Structure 1
Amino acid sequence: MNNKRVKTQFRKNLLALAIAAASTAAMADGRLEGKVSLEQAGVSLEGASVTIPSLNLKTNTRRDGSYTLSSVPAGEYELVVDYLGAELTKTTVVVQDDETQSQNFVLSKRSDEEVLVIGQSASANKSLNKQRAADNIKSIVSADAIGNFPDANASEALSRMPGISIERDQGEGRFVRVRGLAPKLNAVTINGTKMPAPGGSQRSVGMDTIPSDLIESLEVTKSLTPDMDADAIGGSIEVKSLSAFDREGFYYSASAEASYDDHTGDTSPKLSAVASNVFELGDADRKLGVAAAISWYDRDFGSNNVETGGAWDFEQSPAGLEGFEQRHYTINRQRTGLGVNFDYQHGVDHEYYLRTLMSEFQDTETRQASVIEFIDGEGDGEARAAGVRGQAEVARELKDRIEQQTVRSVVIGGINRVDSWTYDYAAGFSVATEKKDQHIAGAAFEAEFDDMGWMDSEKPYLLAPAGYYDAASYALDDVETESVDAQDREHNIRLDISRDFFIGDLASQFKFGGKLSRREKVSDDEVIDYGDFSDQLLPMSSYVSGEVDYRLASYGPGIDGGKLSSVLAQAGEVERNLEDSQVNDYTIHEDINAAYAMMTVDIDRWRILGGMRYEATDITADGLSFNEEADEATTATQFSNDYDHWLPALHVRYSLSEQSILRAAWTNSVVRPTFEEMSPGEYIDGNEVERGNPNLDPWESSNIDVGIEHYFATASTLQAFLFYKDISHFIYESEHTLSDANETEIHSFSNGDSAEVYGLELVYQQQFSQLPAPWDGLLVEANATFTDSEADLGDRKVTLPSQSDVIGNLSIGYENDWMSLRLSANYKSEYLLETGSSQQEDAYVDEQMQVDATARFWITEGIQLYLQGINLTNQPYYVYNNHANYNNQYEEYGPTFKLGVQLTDF
């Protein structure tokens, strides 16, 4: 894809297509425009199909229900509007050259079904119409559907969709996986602009920073078109915020809720409000839409954890354990979100918009930990068998910090339609920050005990003498404080130009454009070590915070961070930790220049979309190299890397009928290394070197998707898709030894040769409106994705990290005039978390199934009372090494219950 012959031919084809498109300017130039709405007012109909069958000319309605058909030859035609769940509507129109004909439609419900403005079936129906109208393969969930589940953030809302699974942090959804591909292999955009990652070393976007209340819809594109960024192998996730034109007239919704955390016994408040209105400016053709949404959530919760970190000796039989940790977390999480959006329309041909989104996410976390390390008589580590007692070193540790993450996004743009041309342009700016002010990153009170042992390899249970639980047994050893300041900025401009025309009697569109994006990732850590408290004999008993509510075993007292901070001035040694303070500091610039051309042709029931995208990437990275033996970090490291990619795509859509669609796609995508993987920092300790690899090649993937969609009633569909991904240059953590005099061991990241991913995605969704009452209110949604993968590490083959063989959702809903019920289950099978130096050291996450429930009751037409239950079965997070019997990490959170009230007015 990178040879000169392909580039030259592409330029020639692009020029020929542009000349062909421009040469049609004198051809048929009549236009049709209008709006499609429902008999019930309140919601704009996006995704309705508007067709002139005799010309095979078709389009779909936009967010506000409007449509445009350009380059229509003069004549009399039948115009047909199709919307899933509504009666097929037809009318006759007369088109004149150089004139615009307006034709609006008001759709009515089918005789045996019901088109609703609100409710479970209405939200599902809205999403299915948009999916059916798309030229590529995508899944969509609307704001109304999000409200049917107890989802607090964008990540959890996505987990209900086909092919999607999530990774949770402290029980809340955070990172998103698409079709079994790790979060770093998926892209996230907000209103068309790339969403940066708050975490210092990550490219993956933690979507728990975005409250679900700010979202109008979530779209997951699984087959990219050339006009999209190509940085997604799994899928591209688009977060769309509210527009006033999504609804007609004035609209508002406000809710208040209280959530009870069973683990801590705390009750937490949440408030949210959404409002929008459309104002006419002088005449009906000029409209200003204003929409705003705000959300605030202040949650107290926690978790219990026991983990070995893989400290098993599998050479023993049975395996011995070198040590483990007991951890207890108490967390206060505050999430505040605000979005204010402006839309201006001058007729249907001129649109201008300003989209803003701000989210602040703050975690106040206290972690109490007891770290047990078994030792033998000479003081070396010992892998102890279950039930065998002996000496152990114990450190009672505290981590007490406040982490703040912010995401801000601003997009300004417009769309202008002039004759058969459409000009779509936008400029976007987004910034994500992660900030941790100076805090206790680790404080340790230490002691040694005899008669220490353990039982149960899945949830290690400590066997200890009474002195272990006595705070007076421990003396302060050291304290480490840390501050973190990371920032990820991205700004871009794009221009897309399209031209509708006919090639003979074939309706066609030529589209081309480009995008320039500039990204800067900065990471700055500052770590201070306070040590040598040994001569002061500071007992832990002077700094306790009371008994720790650790539910997996007896624990004893915890450490009070406030009391401990007062003794830092008494430290015998205070020094800056050069390794952690400088090796993790870096600045990385990533510039991407992109251009594309694509063409769409309708041939009878076929729609063919093909094109090419070109992306050129230029990366520079600055950091430091630290030498442990010299105890200095003065060597600056700077790297640069550049590469380009030609990425062809072909999408084919065949309409078997109005209800059934065959789809096929061949696409190519590229995902760049994470900032951690290409970090220029380097740590040298004798003959051991740890470093990033700025010279990594990006992941490249050639993707094939084939499937069928059948829409057979309101909110009802059957879908099946096969997908295959041929991946090269995949990236993995590597260890190798150089053949030099010191036999230097390099711990870094490397490119693998090849990997394959293949799978099957199934979707079934049905509203049983044809059943007699009361069963006509039943709604069932089910999806399952079966995936397999193989990656070649050279010495062995593994599945790709984060890839579950099976993920699925099952939801059973019921709705009538006064209540709405929903019971849902989300399942994912085990998956590889990370590779070790051997198969025995590989870490796997065990299978998980979370069960949630929602009940809504209409007190009046505009007031709802709702109850929600989350994680009703107390599903734990369990990681193991080699076999499910051997713990790497076990953590449980308990269920959460919510009670709330919502006021809505259309």
Structure 2
Amino acid sequence: MTAIAGVIFCSSLKAEVNPTISEISSEMDFSNEVSGRVSELGTGERLVGATVVVKDLNIGTSTDLHGSYRLRNLPEGRHTLVVSYLGYETREIELEVKDGEVINMNTDLEQRFLTMGEVLVTSVMRGQSRAFNQQKEAENVRNIVSSQQIERFPDNNITEAVKRIPGISTEPLRGEAAAIMIRGLPASFHTVTINNQRVASTDETNRATNTAIINTDMVSAIEVSKTITPDMDADALSGSINLVTRRPVGDNKVFNVTAGSGYNNMSGRPQWIGSATYGQRDGNLDWVVSANYQKDNRATEDIRHDWGVQDFGNGNQDVLAGLRPSFYETERQRMGMTGQVEYHFSPRSSIYFMGNFNNYDEYEVRNDARHGISNGTYETPDLVTGARYEKVIREYNRITDLYSLNAGGKHDIGIATVDYNIGYSYGSFDIPLREYYAFRHSDRPDYRVDISDREFGMIEFANDFNPNDYEKMNFRYYERRNDDVKDNDLFATFNMEVPYELGRSSHFKFGGKFWTKTKERNMSEWRWTGYNGPENLTMAMFAEDKDRNMIDNRYSLGGSIDWERGKQFFNDNINDFVLDEDRFRENSDPNNYKANERIFAAYALTDNTFGNVHVNAGVRMEQVSNTYDGFRVIFDDGGDYLATEAIKADDQNYVNFFPMLNVKYQINPLTNFRFAYTNSIARPDFEYLVPYELVNSDSETVSQGNPDLEPSTSMNLDLMFEHFLSNVGILSAGVFYKNMGNFIYNESTVITEGNNAGYRLNRPENGESAYLYGIELAWQQQLTFLPGVLSGLGVYANYSHIYSEAKIIVPEERRIRLPKQAPNIFNVALSYDRGGFSGQISYSYRDTWLHSVGGSSSAPSVSEHNVYLDRFLMYSGQLDLTLNQQITPNLRVFANFNNLTNQSHQHYFNDPIYPYRNSFHSWWSNFGIRYSL
């Protein structure tokens, strides 16, 4: 955290001298220096990223996170100091520099958009002006979004909010965005930091941090870096997401409260939201605390299709092989707390402590009706006799925790500035409850089948079959899964910055970081497939008659069970159930692991400004050592379990160097042209590196991890043009290219020697290169130049096009687009602000992407289109609406509406004529009040 430099309180353009600070300054051996702070007139809020330039010398800098600036080694004489900030009136200050003198000059800037007289417009524009100023002054390609801009969209978690940024797509899960892809690359390819401090991963198998667990009310801004600098972690192959939490501003107290409720149309249940922030400055002490709570009651209607072929005398013909309607009732709860305190020993020396905690608790019940059409006999394409009907009901609870503690400081030691930090971060993924009850009907249904509309295959019973005769729904299996994943990270960083004379503004910076990670997974999956009790176990013992007509009354779901009675019966009679131990070992032991990684990093960079050209160049070194422990599971020729053996992989050690160059050419004070050449890395996911082995003689397969995998590396090129509009807006266009080496894919080969000769080996390997390139376009502007009532209109729009290609060889060599990489993404929003009212309608679109790569297809009908059973997620777009009304200068009410068109999420195999899964979520809303002091 940056210390406050040169703090002097003033309300005019004249410099005032504070005796205490003057004494402190005189004790330091500075000469010909001007320093101070830039604030907002009236509120005292610090302005981050303000430009401070000595007009006649073209020497300048920008303010830091506390609004502080510092100019050294100025020549004697009279000079004009120009202070500018996007959306504020520019100030010019005359001053005289004398040899050996330190001038403390604080400046207040007046908002330009105050003259519009629209209170709500001022709030939004004030927030985004700060974000744009930081983006404009940044040394790298970066997108910054303020909390005020986030509130213009009805997004309740960080992942939902980030999808509005150019070049970013998200993967949906039960109606919400669940994972972030920056420029079409997996979530584990980018880093997540809170206040620039790294946080732990929260996934069970990969390195990703799930930002969907974090409420948007926790942050004051979101920063997405598309290119990195040498003082950033290099494992940000696609980029880095930094969440800036609430912090004290100015000399006033900070007090914000949000409270509201809502409604989900599909679940018919309410939503709840609430947050509060309080902070202030007490002498040399700044502090702030914030808490938030959110509870969503959601529901999903889902239909799945299975496809096959039959020959009725005229060649192969597509038939419906299975149909599975499902209903999900989901309760999601998010809670978060964050706080920070900073103590200032002097204007140039401070220490801080900050911490944050986030908890995500999801509880879900799923009710499946499974129509096993292919288990019968196809009499004709539309009549099947003697099929199968089952019910599978699931109860599920997932808890994710993410918290971190950090302490550090920043000090001016004369010729140099040092900062340091020590921290701890903990992430966990815990499934304490995941249980299934499965039942199969003793009667065999006959089905009439209609696939004239393939998206919604239809069936009806052709005999007297009663799916809700629960006495005939016989026990099939009871399944229980537990998963406990913990990630503990400890790290320490040190940085030193030394100014020197070269160009307009120059400094040399170097530092290091030590980081150790311990990640451990304990996963178990039990299935009991028989019951030897005194009575016949049927669904009737626990049944609840909750039949639901789904998806516009197309499908009938049938009843569910009372989970409390069902679980109690199982727990009381567990000795009468028969455990499938072979399945337990196969599905449990290979998934357990322990990983230890230690990373030491060092870097050196130089940051220089020559006229209108700013250069940030340097190199980073990262040395990695790790150990992994896994298990080897062996089955005999009959598929029976033999043994589980512990495996410890050899220690791995490697070193990488990452040269980096970020160049910014300032065409004029509001226009930049950027070029970046960077190198980055993506270390293999834990599931790939764990030295597990699963030998199944029954299927003649061997599945392995590969601790010898090398990390994927990437050479990245970026070009960006950005023009910032004086009424707080932006026009930007950029192109990027990534060339990735050692790309990881799953290889399948035949073992030619040893005890398992002839078996198929499935193992992750390093492949050849993969590459992607694309364009990003953005336009954001308040159209205040329009006449009359039209001046309240505003536009937010961005478009991204991405192309990628990688080589795989499973089951044979071919080139594919990278999985989960959307070729086209766009966001568009039209807003209106006037008279205290603000409204915005927005639309977010994601193109079809390859969801997962399949092997050879066993279905000839699918093979006619492609021999590979690849799975795709179809394009989708979501229409949202937000409404706000200012009641008083401090109080406003809001209403948000999501997914107004009931956009579904649809998967298909190879071609849309083979739909696999379609999920519907309907619309939901929330409404409430926001109070800001």
1:432 and 1:268 map into 2 onto residues whose CA distance is 26
2:346 and 2:265 map into 1 onto residues whose CA distance is 54
2:115 and 2:910 map into 1 onto residues whose CA distance is 53
What is the DSSP-based 3-state SS (H/G/I as helix, E as strand, rest coil) of the residue aligned with 2:188?
Answer: helix
Question: 1:723 — aligned with what?
Answer: 736
Cα deviation code 1:332-387 (max 9, x no counterpart): 1111111111122344312322121101111111111123334457xxxx899963
Distance 1:643 1:371, change over 3 A: farther
Distance 1:784 1:171, change over 3 A: same
Cα deviation code 1:294-323 (max 9, x no counterpart): 111222111111224x76569984434443
What is the DSSP-based 3-state SS (H/G/I as helix, E as strand, rest coil) of the residue aligned with 1:841?
Answer: coil
Task: Report the residue type matching 1:305 in the other structure.
Answer: D
Per-residue deviation at 1:730?
1.4
Q: Is the 1:243–1:276 contact (alpha carbons within 8 Å) kept by the matching residues of 2?
A: yes
2:126 and 2:424 map into 1 onto residues whose CA distance is 34
2:115 and 2:840 map into 1 onto residues whose CA distance is 21
Distance 1:821 1:432, change over 3 A: same
What is the DSSP-based 3-state SS (H/G/I as helix, E as strand, rest coil) of the residue aligned with 2:140?
Answer: coil
Task: Report the residue type matching 2:296 in the other structure.
Answer: R
1:261 and 1:42 map into 2 onto residues whose CA distance is 42
What is the DSSP-based 3-state SS (H/G/I as helix, E as strand, rest coil) of the residue aligned with 2:689?
Answer: coil
Cα deviation code 1:408-435 (max 9, x no counterpart): 1111111112334111211121101122
Q: Is the 1:263–1:301 contact (alpha carbons within 8 Å) kept by the matching residues of 2?
A: yes
1:746 aligns with 2:761: yes
Q: Is the 1:735–1:837 contact (alpha carbons within 8 Å) kept by the matching residues of 2?
A: no
2:386 and 2:63 map into 1 onto residues whose CA distance is 73
Question: 2:289 — aligned with what?
Answer: 292
- Residue in structure 2 matching 1:253, options 256, 262, 279: 256
Unaligned 5+ runs, structure 2? 1-27, 857-865
Question: 1:656 — aligned with what?
Answer: 667
Distance 1:210 1:118, change over 3 A: farther
- Residue in structure 1 matching 2:282, options 279, 283, 287: 279
Task: Report the residue type matching 2:369 in the other structure.
Answer: S
Q: TM-score, normalised by structure 1?
A: 0.92
Cα deviation code 1:732-787 (max 9, x no counterpart): 23333223474211223222201111111001111112222222222111111111
1:635 aligns with 2:650: no
Task: Report the residue type matching 1:834 in the other structure.
Answer: S
What is the 5 A alignment of 1:5-404?
Answer: 29-41=31-43, 43-110=45-112, 118-244=122-248, 246-280=249-283, 287-308=284-305, 312=308, 317-375=316-374, 387-404=382-399
Task: Report the residue type matching 1:623 in the other structure.
Answer: G
Question: For structure 1, which segment, 165-174 or 591-600, has the greater mean C-alpha deviation from structure 2 after superposition?
Answer: 165-174
Cα deviation code 1:160-199 (max 9, x no counterpart): 1121221122112221111222212111111222222222
1:351 and 1:324 map into 2 onto residues whose CA distance is 64
Q: Is the 1:720–1:763 contact (alpha carbons within 8 Å) kept by the matching residues of 2?
A: yes
Distance 1:428 1:320, change over 3 A: farther
Q: Is the 2:740–2:769 contact (alpha carbons within 8 Å) kept by the matching residues of 1?
A: yes
Q: Is the 2:140–2:662 contact (alpha carbons within 8 Å) kept by the matching residues of 1?
A: yes
Question: For structure 1, which segment, 686-695 or 568-577, has the greater mean C-alpha deviation from structure 2 after superposition?
Answer: 568-577
Per-residue deviation at 1:447?
4.1
Q: Is the 1:445–1:540 contact (alpha carbons within 8 Å) kept by the matching residues of 2?
A: no
Question: For structure 1, which segment, 402-411 or 316-325, has the greater mean C-alpha deviation from structure 2 after superposition?
Answer: 316-325
- Residue in structure 2 matching 1:680, options 691, 714, 721: 691
- Residue in structure 1 matching 2:839, options 816, 821, 831: 821
1:756 aligns with 2:771: yes
Q: Is the 2:843–2:880 contact (alpha carbons within 8 Å) kept by the matching residues of 1?
A: yes
Distance 1:74 1:677, change over 3 A: farther
Task: Report the residue type matching 1:156 in the other structure.
Answer: E
2:209 and 2:644 map into 1 onto residues whose CA distance is 32
Distance 1:180 1:383, change over 3 A: farther
What is the DSSP-based 3-state SS (H/G/I as helix, E as strand, rest coil) of the residue aligned with 1:769?
Answer: coil
Cα deviation code 1:502-556 (max 9, x no counterpart): 03x5532111111111111110012333231277421212211222435131111
What is the 5 A alignment of 1:441-590?
Answer: 441-447=436-442, 449-452=444-447, 454-456=449-451, 457-464=454-461, 465=463, 466-503=465-502, 506-533=504-531, 536-552=535-551, 553-568=555-570, 569=573, 571-574=576-579, 577-590=584-597
Distance 1:272 1:588, change over 3 A: same
Cα deviation code 1:655-703 (max 9, x no counterpart): 1111211100000000111112222222221121223222221111000
What is the 5 A alignment of 1:782-801?
Answer: 782-794=797-809, 795-801=813-819
Question: 2:633 — aligned with what?
Answer: 626
Task: Report the residue type matching 2:899 in the other structure.
Answer: N
Distance 1:419 1:776, change over 3 A: farther
Per-residue deviation at 1:404?
1.2
Task: Report the residue type matching 1:487 in the other structure.
Answer: K
Per-residue deviation at 1:438?
4.7
Task: Report the residue type matching 1:233 in the other structure.
Answer: L
Distance 1:440 1:675, change over 3 A: same
Task: Report the residue type matching 2:886 in the other structure.
Answer: W
Distance 1:507 1:243, change over 3 A: same
1:189 and 1:133 map into 2 onto residues whose CA distance is 20
Alpha-carbon RMSD across the aligned residues, in angstroms, is 2.4
1:867 aligns with 2:870: no
Distance 1:342 1:311, change over 3 A: farther
Task: Report the residue type matching 2:926 in the other structure.
Answer: K
1:361 and 1:895 map into 2 onto residues whose CA distance is 22
1:444 and 1:587 map into 2 onto residues whose CA distance is 37
What is the DSSP-based 3-state SS (H/G/I as helix, E as strand, rest coil) of the residue aligned with 1:677?
Answer: helix
Per-residue deviation at 1:634?
2.6
1:725 and 1:527 map into 2 onto residues whose CA distance is 40
Per-residue deviation at 1:562?
1.4
1:780 aligns with 2:795: yes
1:422 aligns with 2:417: yes
Distance 1:565 1:109, change over 3 A: closer
Q: Is the 2:247–2:288 contact (alpha carbons within 8 Å) kept by the matching residues of 1?
A: yes
Q: How many residues align?
A: 867
Question: 1:844 — aligned with what?
Answer: 872
Q: Is the 1:440–1:561 contact (alpha carbons within 8 Å) kept by the matching residues of 2?
A: no
Question: 1:647 — aligned with what?
Answer: 658
Cα deviation code 1:551-602 (max 9, x no counterpart): 1311111122212113321534246522233221110112111111111221
What is the DSSP-based 3-state SS (H/G/I as helix, E as strand, rest coil) of the residue aligned with 1:405?
Answer: strand
Distance 1:111 1:780, change over 3 A: closer
Question: 2:7 — aligned with what?
Answer: none
Question: 2:682 — aligned with what?
Answer: 671
